[in-house]
Chain A
């Protein structure tokens, strides 16, 4: 039944849109569409954004692994190309601080009336276009450190449920300590 649903193109586009509406709604309710809240997170003055992400990871992690255990969907981890991830990640981080929003939250910020976010979105289109244009020149660099679509439990050769338990405890403890410290 689910496999049939995955093949229905129009229904899938509608589902993508509806999940997006929910995502945008929640991002805004959490304050993540606000430049000030994101930059204050990066300045380590306000930990709202990290609390949202950590809770989403714990919730997502448990549910997704139950879904792939019992239902048709399979995990789809991205390839671990560690060099481009580190360098691209740092470039992303610089942009994250300067724009004060990320690709998802910038889309949300536009919806809340942030005119400057529109320039961020135009910039992201340009940046993605520049990447597409130079891609053939950096293809070797992109591939040379590829470890494949590996997961943490696979690379440590331990049962994934122990990793899920460990991450849930670590992330919850960090959030508990943040609350106790008054953040």
Chain B
């Protein structure tokens, strides 16, 4: 069996691989892997495009300057890496409405797109308030034994599990 074309790998192999990428981030770039600041920076870049240079004066964008940085390139790399993986395994396919969503909400594409948009807004806002996401807090921060990251990781899943149970679990 060719590991590059088989469907899914053992979660333990994948997890160990991701752990090694965390090492590489520290070792080669002195950086902790994370994703959510890239969204904040991109949002700033988009706003700069519309409103001009004065966006840079927003206090938040002084902390997270709207520019392409290491983490931004990392997120771009994730898109490419997942594309390569799904093309090799043959799992690449255009997905409009995922199965589990369809079971609860039906096959309306508009409804799914609206749901994804709303979910995304909450994720983007929540991640910036909490100071990180499932990668920055959940993997890199927890690996550093950061107290705040363990707390964030716990509450990401408390919020996620309760919400999923209510909306998809029929509780």
Contact = CB atoms under 8 A, between A and B. Distances in A.
Interface of A: 2, 5-6, 12-36, 39-40, 42-44, 48-49, 51-61, 63-64, 67-68, 71-73, 75-82, 84-100, 102-117, 119-133, 135-136, 138-139, 142, 147, 149-153, 155, 160, 163-164, 167, 175
Contacts, number: 538
Interface string B16-48: 111111111111111111011011101110110
A31 B40 contact: no
Interface string B122-148: 111111111111111111111111111
A35 B36 CA distance: 19
Contact of A95 (B77, B119, B150): B119
B99 A78 contact: no
Given A22-B77, A68-B26, A124-B127, 5 more contacts: A23-B21, A42-B165, A103-B75, A113-B94, A127-B127
A119 B146 contact: no
A31 B8 CA distance: 6
Given A21-B81, A130-B125, A85 B148 contact: yes
A108 B82 contact: yes
Given A84-B130, A127-B125, A93 B155 contact: yes
Chain B contact surface mostly = helix
Contacts of A160: 145
B155 A111 contact: no
B164 A39 contact: yes
Contact of A43 (B38, B71, B123, B164): B164
B77 A93 contact: no
A105 B154 CA distance: 18
A14 B133 CA distance: 23
B32 A76 contact: yes
Nearest to A121: B120
B124 A85 contact: no
Contacts of B123: 92, 95-96, 99, 102-103, 106, 120, 123-124, 127
A58 B15 CA distance: 9
A114 to B, nearest CB: 4
A132 B43 contact: yes
A90 B159 contact: yes
B81 A42 contact: no
